């Protein structure tokens, strides 16, 4: 994002236009990766049915559950910046709306500290 701000001129255009353009170009780059993806032939590793494979699968599931729980601890609209262009003038910034210490009371906040 730092390079994009430098090239696009941070502050030269409205935040909504800047962020929308950034998301559009990032999505286009990701789509290009998806379309140009070619799998490597053969198998790199096979841990199916082994204790290491079960441990790896358990870690994967635990990681996805952690991500899911963390997304419900914050506002999903703030996570995706969807209402930013619509509410920029009517609401104060996120830090001013959130009471002090709210993040540290959550399970993730306690775990980080």
Express each pLDDT in 1-48 by its tens digit: 566 666 566 566 677 777 788 889 899 999 999 999 999 898 888 888
Instruction: Enter the pTM of the model.
Output: 0.43
Can you tell me the mean pLDDT for 83-93?
A: 58
**Of the candidates 79, 68, 57, which has an alpha carbon nearest to the alpha carbon of residue 107?**
68
CA distance 63 to 57: 10
pLDDT per residue as tens digits for the range 53-72: 999 999 999 999 999 888 88
Can you tell me the mean pLDDT for 85-90?
A: 58
Between residues 81 and 68, which one has the greater pLDDT?
68
For residue 9, the 8-state DSSP code is T
**Of the candidates 61, 62, 79, which has an alpha carbon nearest to the alpha carbon of residue 71?**
79
Annotated domain spans of the chain: 1-38
């Amino acid at each position: 994002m730092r390079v994009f701000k430098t090239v696009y001129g941070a502050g030269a255009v409205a935040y909504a236009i800047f962020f929308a353009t950034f998301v559009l170009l990032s999505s286009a780059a990701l789509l290009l990766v998806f379309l140009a993806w070619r799998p490597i032939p053969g198998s790199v590793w096979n841990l199916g049915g082994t204790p290491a494979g079960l441990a790896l699968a358990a870690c994967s599931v635990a990681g996805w559950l952690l991500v899911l729980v963390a997304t419900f601890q914050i506002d999903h609209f703030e996570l995706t910046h969807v209402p930013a262009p619509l509410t920029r003038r009517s609401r104060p910034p996120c830090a001013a709306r959130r009471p002090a210490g709210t993040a540290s009371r959550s399970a993730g906040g306690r775990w980080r500290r």
